[in-house]
Structure 1
Amino acid sequence: CWKTYLGRPEGDSYRQSAMQQLGSGLSAAGHHEEALSVREAELAMLRRLGAPEHHILCTQSNLANTYAAVGRDEEALPMRREVYSGRLNLNGEEHGETLSAANNYAKSLLTLKRSEEAKALLRKTMPVARRVLREEHRITLKMRWNYALALCCDPSATLDDVSEGVSTLEDAGRIARRVLGGAHPTTEGIENALRDAGAALAAREGDCVTSVCEAVAAVNLLDGS
């Protein structure tokens, strides 16, 4: 219980572990507002203590996820950018934690409709993920999912952009189904996005709407996570 460790010094490892577990437990239970206050306090404590960079980056990533969960996307974005930059400096561009941070950063950019920036980031990091982690890795699949969304949701998207997005989802979906199985959330998300992107493409080809963005909105294209 968290209260057992409340009276211990901030530097006590058991107190720090209990605080981290409390935040994770609240998030897992869907109590994101409560988790937010715990994670903010945890990050402030670690900074006061001069904790190792790896520990701080993990806590920042958790806090950014919680900001996103409560709809505070403008606050999640700079924190995810900072985590990505920190991972690059600490671990290098080929490390799994760096690539995961890049995907999270791209997701925040997409949420805030900054598709061009998301595409630029993913065009730089996806080839690294495909080379180092391989095509079947979940991070690689999620990067391709988000890249397809960036292509389809860009207000200036052309027919070729949407076609590329559909092709990307088709390939990622085949790999996800083979490696993860049809019931896996990543597979289901990619296949749902593919269905909706295909509808957007058909609408675009038939001139049923005036822009790809309207087509995407019409079929409620899902976000990659």
Structure 2
Amino acid sequence: MRRSGDASPTALPGPRETAAVRQAAGLLLDYPDSALRGRLPLIVEALAGLAPHASRDAALEFASHAAATPDRELAEHYVAVFDQQNRRCLHLTWWTDGDTRRRGMALVRLKERYRAAGWSFDGTADTAELPDFLPAVLEFAAREPRDGTALLAEHRPGLELLRIALTDAGTPYARLLDAVCATLPGPTPADEAQARALALRGPGREDVGLEPYGPMPGPAAPGRGVVDLPFPTTVAGGPR
């Protein structure tokens, strides 16, 4: 589901490039705190060293923009952009299930899926996110290419709607969604039909608390927040 005129890659990036772009996009889609600011030169350098591809080029474009933007300006822009009310939400199950009990069950299944792949959850973090937070999903997809690609593909309609919403908002963050979607095969007719249906009806709404469904995951090894990327450097941190 792409707008007319959008570039559609003729081939997917290689495994090395795919993992690196997903990891970089996950880091860059998190709140731009001081830790991320310190890593930006490394992220830019790592992406620049990859083979050219639509996914790499889009991620590098945003990383370079972020590195050149003053800290406060970037942070304020992030807060303004990722607003659930304006359908620019970074939680994937929100797109399909909204704020409903059905979403709670989807989060439980997602936690089980992470655990089956050897990922653990830290229930003590004060800043714990839900497991459908896109930066967490992207870290998983970078580290677990088969399961992670399947998970992203299942949420392709929501990813495409978020990409379009960010593009319509005129934010450079749209380039990160361009990058992520370019690591996936083209959307299927079923993806496009589901995306159209979601766009028409919007996410469901039901006042429920999601706290019981747990914080976001971290990899069981080599340690939470340390991700081995497929190039000579390591980006430490990962999703908050």
- Higher gyration radius (CA): 1
- TM-score, structure 1 as length reference: 0.28
Structure of greater relative contact order (alpha carbons < 8 Å, 6+ residues apart): 2
- By percentage of residues, which structure has more strand? 2
